[in-house]
Amino acid sequence: MKRTLTVFLLSIAPTLWAQDKVDREVIHRIKQEVFDHTEVMDHLFQLVEVHGPRITGSPGFDGSAKWAASRLEDWGAKNVKLEKWGPFGQGWSRSYFSAHLVEPQYEMLIGVPLGWSPSTDGVVSGQPIITPFERKSTRKQFQQAVDEFIEKHRGKLRGQIILISDLQDVNVQAEAAMKRLSGDDLSDQAKAPEPRVPIDFTDPDLEIPENAQKRNRILSQAPMWWLRKWSAGLREVQGGFNKFLTSEGVRLVIHPAAQGDGGTVFPPRSGDRHLEHPAPPPSIALTPEHYNRIFRLVEKKVSMKIEVEVKTAFHRDTLDSVNVIGEIPGGAKKDEVVMIGAHLDSTAAALGATDNGAGCAVMLEVMRVLAKLDLKLDRTVRIALWGGEEQGLLGSHAYVKEHFADPTTMNLTGEHGKFAAYFNVDNGTGKIRGVYLQENDMVRPIFRSWLEPFNDMGAATLSIRNTGGTDHLSFDEVGLPGFQFIQDPVEYSTRTHHSNMDSYDRAQAGDLMQAVAIVASFVYHAANREEKLPRKPLPKSRPAVPE
């Protein structure tokens, strides 16, 4: 019997050793503060309805950054600062938009000005002409499409209002726009992806195919530096297209929404932050139903008239941006750091509630809760609200390069070795359902222990997969443990992501409160864990690319 018991204990010992201790008394206190005294929606109100939209370099962004810094100071955070990084380029903001179909019958048009497009010269009125142009997703094919457009329309566009795309499909919705992750969805997330033949992203001739399936396969594997390079190539071609339209004297460019219906506008991109890139003519996007009505009237040669007025501003007084930084100093290991973050900036069309006012509100509330409860924290806890995320993780990339390592050389600073973990929230308003491990299987037993007290709140899934598109990647690309949480999509991408409907009312208070409790608990346990979180092997240096 004694020998049998010994064998049994030895067999389970690795499991026992792998489990991290969880302080349930502290978790109970965190839940009480979060659920009984939440201020998360108050933070969101300030970010979205007072300061939004928050385009990097705009007055809305600057005002929200100063407000967030002042709140951190109110809660007793130390070393609060607006840490400069850059150059970013020119900021942009909108101040007025009006669009109407006047003839043959009146209709108010739903739309938005495109980011980094200039103001109209007063009210622009008249009948548009159709000049359909199809965007392409590779530089070579995009350039070919631009060349063909220029050859066809040179000398014919002066003083014109142009409809830049064909009729848009508007399909009856077969499924609800709102979605929660089901048990099957989460089971699929928990499965490791099928092994794939690696793609050589250092190949200078690598192109993204037009075939959607093949294109998505490449984009899903592409590192952030390569995506920046690809985007830079498309921006350069877009700049040439904008230069042609402006030199031809186009008065107004009208786009259909890139997706969306029922008054939701997901606008395409046109201008950008780079001073050296030509701005487009005044440009707007309309919801597909309204774009299609105008298109059909023109196509069928019905006499018609629209009136549009746009007022925008370019902000060139400073080309740098800032990240909002603040700390709760640690105790026994105060020189080691646990970081949390979310991006503060939004896009041109949006107030930025679910992308990413929600994440910022969650992280600010985490700092408030930790300070209010005066919890023992061995390591320093640092928050960062990033600028320039929407242009390619620029703020977090600059911060990591300054403080930890330059990914193009992989020369490490002294702070690199003292970094414990980074946790990010940036997938909308949805509740947390688990964590993407970012191929770091060593943290699996740790996170399983930390999630267990929240299993009854729907958070239990661990996915070995990488997830992209947000600021944890800046840490991961220099070998630091950075993680993004799995979240319910809710209306992300169907209604709120980069759209004119990304408003305060789309945020779900209960979801954000659940996220605060989980993140605060993760931060507490990461700050007090005996060892820093395990790391993957250091990556190799990667090529330098345009920012």
Given a cut of 50, whether residue 7 has pLDDT beyond it is no
- CA 513 – CA 362 distance, rounded (Å): 8
- Would 374 be classed as within a structural domain? yes
Give me the pLDDT at residue 196, please. 85
Q: Give the ranges where 300-417 is alpha helix by DSSP (H).
A: 358-373, 394-403
Tokens for 236, please give them: 């350069």
Span 47-60, pLDDT tens digits: 999 999 999 999 99
Do 284 and 332 lie in a common domain? no
Contact 421/532 with Cβ under 8 angstroms? yes
Claim to verify: residue 108 and residue 204 sit in the same structural domain: yes
Does residue 8 belong to any structural domain of this protein? no
User: Residue 33 corresponds to which tokens in the numbers above?
Assistant: 């503060």
Tell me if 249 is assigned to some domain. yes
Do residue 343 and residue 489 come from a single domain?
yes
Q: Write down the mean pLDDT value for the chain.
A: 94
pLDDT at 506: 96
Token pair in block for residue 531 = 């060892």
Is 301 found in the same domain as 336? no
Q: What is the mean pLDDT of residues 196-222?
A: 84
Q: Which of 17-31, 377-391, 533-547 has the highest mean pLDDT?
A: 377-391
Range of the domain at 279: 91-315
* 453 and 326 co-located in one domain: yes
Q: CB-based contacts of 209: which residues, under 8 Å, 6+ apart?
A: 138, 215, 218
- Total domains, the chain: 2
**Higher pLDDT among residues 192 and 18, named by residue:** 192
Q: List 386's β-bridge partners, or say none.
A: 343
Tokens standing for residue 48: 């979205």
Q: What does the pLDDT average to over 526-539?
A: 97
The helix (run of H) or strand (run of E) holding residue 159 is: none
Let me know if residue 164 belongs to a domain: yes
Total residues found in the chain within this entry: 547
Domain identity same for 82 and 167: no
Is the pLDDT score of 205 beyond 90?
no
306 and 354 housed in the same domain? no
Q: Above 70 in pLDDT, residue 13?
A: no
The CATH number of residue 509's host domain is 3.40.630.10
Task: Identify the H or E element spanning 342.
Answer: strand 333-343
Last residue of a domain, one of 315, 342, 359: 315
CATH code, 96: 3.50.30.30
Could you tell me if residue 12 is inside a domain? no
Last residue of a domain, one of 251, 285, 315: 315
Residue 402 in tokens: 């300054």
Residue 142 lies in a domain: yes
Buried b (16+ CB within 10 A) or exposed e, 465-487: bbbbebbbbbbbbbbbbbbbbbb
Percent of all residues in the chain with a pLDDT value above 70, rounded to a whole number: 96
CA–CA separation, 12 vs 5, rounded Å? 11
Among the candidates 299, 315, 331, a domain finishes at: 315
| Same domain, yes or no: 134 and 224 | yes
Mean pLDDT of 527-532: 98
The pLDDT of residue 111: 97
In the chain, pLDDT over 90 holds for what percent of residues? 83
pLDDT tens digits, 279-326: 999 999 999 999 999 999 999 999 999 999 999 999 998 899 999 999
pLDDT at 410: 97
Do 146 and 66 belong together in one domain?
no
CB-neighbour burial class of residue 421 (10 A; exposed 0-12, middle 13-18, buried 19+): buried
Cα–Cα distance measured from residue 541 to residue 409, given in angstroms and rounded to the nearest whole number: 5
Q: Same domain for 30 and 73?
A: yes
Q: Which amino acid is at 134?
A: E
Helix (H, G, I), strand (E, B) or coil at 70: helix
**What pLDDT is attached to residue 1?**
45
Whether residue 450 sits in one domain with residue 334: yes
- Split at pLDDT 50, 70, 90, the class of 174 is confident
Structure tokens at 387: 């600028």
Residue 534 belongs to some domain of the structure: no
Total-model pTM: 0.94
Q: Per mean pLDDT, which range of 8-22, 168-182, 376-390, 420-434 is the poorest?
A: 8-22
Q: Tell me: do 306 and 199 sit in the same domain.
A: yes
Terminal-to-terminal C-alpha distance of the chain: 67
pLDDT, position 16: 41
Q: At what angle do helices 444-451 and 2-18 cross, to 10 degrees?
A: 90
State both tokens at 93.
């903001």
Whole-number pLDDT of residue 206:
85
Per residue in 358-417, pLDDT tens?
999 999 999 999 999 999 999 999 999 999 999 999 999 999 999 999 999 999 999 999
Q: Tell me which residue of 191, 160, 365, 342 sits closest to 254, measured CA to CA.
A: 160
Instruction: Report if residue 108 sits inside a domain.
Output: yes
